[in-house]
Structure 1
């Protein structure tokens, strides 16, 4: 297993911008948080609805809002022949590895994923925070992915995983207060609509980009390797380039989503998004979960 690395950054707070993230300012006891910049918001760009935001307190791993129940992880896609995706559909199987959460589909109120753990991989910060966590099966797969990357001489760094409904609500409201609701909706996920709340997503970065979450990551050796190999470990690039009109979000080469090896391989080979593969395009009459 990879020994967790510590990255000591300059004391201060950073305005985290665009994409997966939602970080206004975050003070991490002397650590700077990753920064997100998309091509759409180059000036004081806010983070997108998928990342962390503002000041985040240190947390005791035993005092987190996770559900200690086992939950179920149905691997088979469930057919629904009647109801197309529409605004604010509540997903029927939130614990499914194939769950699709986006601007049209939300998790049930108060949902907390089961079996949250901290993967044994390098993070850009050392102290425990909620965003270090993932569901057990996703965390194990991430460890295997990081190990394989390390064997190729690549140095991936984890940045942001699980985020609670309450956390996302705070982040989204902060972005609305700062940028207005219409603008915030272009990059920030509303509470209940964030991939990070599933516990199946992790943002990754590299030291050479100062641990920022930027589209340039896709051009690094690590980003290039992920695009070609993430599926082998059950992950997909959730927001691929050229699919913005389908996913609703800008290209995010750093955002990994766990769906299991079998589906990840098919999604990779078909060059599809989760919306396309699982039939959750707006108006689709045969969605699957």
Structure 2
């Protein structure tokens, strides 16, 4: 073989001796890429219920014991007893009206108390089929002088002071008090009235109309007067309801006033 042919043959026989135009060097195989791992999406935590918050209780305003005067004789809450005389002592209401109910003596009361009396008498008749009547209502200072003096003359002052107010200290003078009896009369102005149908109904229901049984049997040491199941004092339904709710039976105790067992 000639030298030229040998030279031509060698590259064909031994490719790596060529000029680089021979078989290409295989490219390096890239390392297998890591199989992508799906990142788990965050699983939301179960929704927790909002903490239970109890509703605010309905605000009930406290009873305002200072809403009305206890000293002004024209106040529905005026407290009159043996140690708390009316001021002025000769006070007379300016809104007295005739009370259109059955009566022994023609009654007058302040207008609001009169309206409440009419409603009370009507309710009693509707609920029991019986009748009430007024024994005595408003009494002026001058009239109270006559009533008190007569009691003293008949029974002595010691007894009179447990059954009849001295002039200027009577609830009747306020035009807010009424003595009630049965019609026809039964135990009128007597403790046995408390055992009658009329007395029992009044003791349990007078508060519905704004009245207070003013001289209870168990509060003589507080009020200074013997039990009078016939004597009712108008104080308005607001106060009457509150006193009933708190179980308080005298104005002195409800308003934190001193007991009045006797005159100063």
* TM interval, short-chain normalised: 0.5 to 0.7
Verify the 8 A CA contact 1:145 1:233 in the aligned structure 2. yes
Pick from 247, 250, 257: which aligns with 1:273? 250
- Higher RCO structure (Cα 8 Å, ≥6 apart): 1
Verify the 8 A CA contact 1:159 1:204 in the aligned structure 2. yes
* Residues matched between the structures, number: 193
Pick from 99, 117, 125: which aligns with 2:97? 117
Separation in 1, partners of 2:131, 2:154 = 35
Specify the alignment match of 1:148 in structure 2: 123
Verify the 8 A CA contact 2:71 2:79 in the aligned structure 1. no
Pick from 167, 181, 190: which aligns with 1:205? 181
Give, in angstroms, the shift of residue 267 of structure 1.
1.6
Q: Under a length normalisation based on structure 1, what TM-score does the superposition of the two structures give? A: 0.62
Deviation sequence 1:229-262 (CA, Å, 0-9, x none):
1111110111112111101111111111100001
Separation in 1, partners of 2:156, 2:214 = 26
Pick from 91, 96, 102: which aligns with 2:75? 96
What is the RMSD computed on CA atoms of the aligned residues?
2.1
Q: Under a length normalisation based on structure 2, what TM-score does the superposition of the two structures give? A: 0.68
Q: Answer yes or no: is 1:136 the counterpart of 2:103.
A: no
Separation in 2, partners of 1:139, 1:214 = 24
Separation in 2, partners of 1:147, 1:239 = 24
What SS does the corresponding residue of 1:184 show, helix, strand or coil?
A: helix
Separation in 2, partners of 1:222, 1:282 = 29
- Contiguous gaps of at least 5 residues in structure 2: 1-65
Specify the alignment match of 2:35 in structure 1: none
Structure in which a larger fraction of residues adopt helix: 2
Structure in which a larger fraction of residues adopt strand: 1
Give, in angstroms, the shift of residue 154 of structure 1.
2.7
Please identify the structure whose Cα radius of gyration is greater. 2
Verify the 8 A CA contact 2:248 2:254 in the aligned structure 1. no
Separation in 2, partners of 1:282, 1:122 = 35
Separation in 1, partners of 2:118, 2:187 = 19
Give, in angstroms, the shift of residue 212 of structure 1.
1.8
Pick from 67, 73, 78: which aligns with 1:76? 67
Specify the alignment match of 2:164 in structure 1: 188
